[in-house]
Amino acid sequence: MEIIIQSTRAAASKLAALNIARLVQAKPNAVLGLATGSTPLMLYTELIRLHREEGLDFSKVRTFNLDEYCDLPPEDPNSYRFFMNENLFKHINIDIANTRVPDGLVQGAEILRHCEKYEEDIRAAGGIDLQVLGIGTNGHIGFNEPGTSLASRTHFTTLTESTRKSNAPYFGGLEAMPYYALTMGIGTIMDVREVVLLAFGESKAEAIAGAAEGALTASNPASSLQMHPSATMFLDTAAAARLVRRDYYEWTFAHKPDWQ
Ligand code: GLP
């Protein structure tokens, strides 16, 4: 796993956006895996700027989002479909028909079929070239909560109490916060060609330290990325604060270990 530490969220987001822009320039019909949450917002703002000011062309790009809350219709402002439309898709020249988010409204036996179909559609698109990830304070990626099988594929999942508490403010309180979600699995994420994980702020520092330098364990789902051949973490200084090693890009010289 490569780790890139920048002094600000803006700088880290710009570097991550550059990775995506280079991919899209080299492969105009690239398949992007996308994430929601506050973390990728600046990355999306930068992609929008690259589109508007530098002509970055998304007309042939296809996207698959990581996850979606169950029981929220796409027009609900808290749904991840709504989030993607508002924060990225409506500001770039992507064909909305080429953008996919799991359908949180499927019910009962349809759920399994929907998840299998999501996997089939990713395969039919040629696989995901680059996956954007945030990380939960408990190390979750997508909605793969601690304890999720490292081999899991797209599935229905129960949100942990800590995730419900973390995300409750968006819903105006815990009562309105969903209990369930659909998410790509860790196995799905491990199959992508390149992972770009973003994490900012001190609330992510412990999860990042575990993921980057701790044991490979389902207790910290992001630690599975240690086994990914092409995964990069883009961090700000606060999210990197609990890393012990110092051999990371833009960290080595600026931040001396205590013993030096
Ligand atoms: C949600 C999403 C994750 C995201 C996480 C962190 O749980 N399912 O994909 O990484 O929140 O959110 P934030 O970026 O707002 O801290």
According to DSSP H, which parts of the chain are helical? 9-26, 41-54, 80-87, 110-124, 161-171, 186-190, 205-213
36 lines ligand 1 (CB under 6 A): yes
Per-residue confidence (pLDDT) for residue 260, from 0 to 100 = 39
- Residue of 158, 164, 167 best suited for mutating to test ligand 1, as the one with most atoms within 8 Å of CB: 167
Q: Is the CB of 65 under 6 A from ligand 1?
A: no
- 206 is an active site residue: no
Say if ligand 1 is within 6 A of residue 157 CB. no
| Closest CA relative to residue 222, chosen from 115, 146, 122 | 146
Active site residue: 46, 65, 138, 250, which one? Answer: 138
Can you give the pLDDT at residue 255? Answer: 54
For residue 138 and ligand 1, the question of a CB distance below 6 A is answered with no
What count of Cα atoms within 13 Å lies in the side-chain half-sphere of residue 137? 12
At residue 252, the pLDDT reads: 57
Other CB atoms within 10 Å distance of the CB of residue 93: 14
pLDDT at 258: 53
Active site residue 76: no
Could you list the residue range(s) of the whole structural domain that residue 118 is in?
A: 2-259
> What is the pLDDT at residue 145?
96
Report the residue among 13, 36, 67 best suited for mutation to probe ligand 1: largest number of ligand atoms under 8 A from its CB. 36
Kindly give the residue spans of alpha helices, DSSP state H, lying in 154-253. 161-171, 186-190, 205-213
Strands 67-69 and 62-65: unpaired
235 DSSP β-pair partners: 5, 199
The answer to whether the CB of 66 is under 6 A from ligand 1 is: yes
The residue from 145, 155, 228, 250 that is catalytic is 145
Please count the structural domains in the chain: 1
In the prediction, which pLDDT does 4 show?
Answer: 95
For residue 120, give both structure tokens: 């089939």
Query: Which of 101, 166, 180, 182 is the pocket-test mutation for ligand 1 (most atoms within 8 Å of CB)?
Result: 166
SS3 state at 182: strand
Q: What is the side-by-side strand order in the sheet with 155-158?
A: 67-69, 180-183, 155-158
140 in active site = yes
pLDDT of residue 250: 72
pLDDT score, position 135: 98
Whole-number Å distance between alpha carbons of 109 and 89: 31
CATH number for the domain that contains residue 202: 3.40.50.1360
| CA of residue 135 to ligand 1 center, whole Å | 6
pLDDT at position 188: 98
- Residues 148/189, Cβ–Cβ less than 8 Å: no
Distances (CA, A) of 11 to 24, 208, 240: 20, 18, 14
Q: Does the active-site annotation cover 236?
A: no
pLDDT at 254: 55
Residues of the chain with pLDDT under 70: 251-260
Task: For Cα atoms 55, 196, 149, give the angle at the middle one, nearest 5 degrees.
Answer: 140
Establish whether residue 37 lines the binding site of ligand 1, counting it when its CB lies within 6 angstroms of any ligand atom: yes
Give distance in angstroms: CA of 37 to centre of ligand 1: 4
pTM: 0.95
**Distance of CA 202 from the midpoint of ligand 1 (Å):** 15
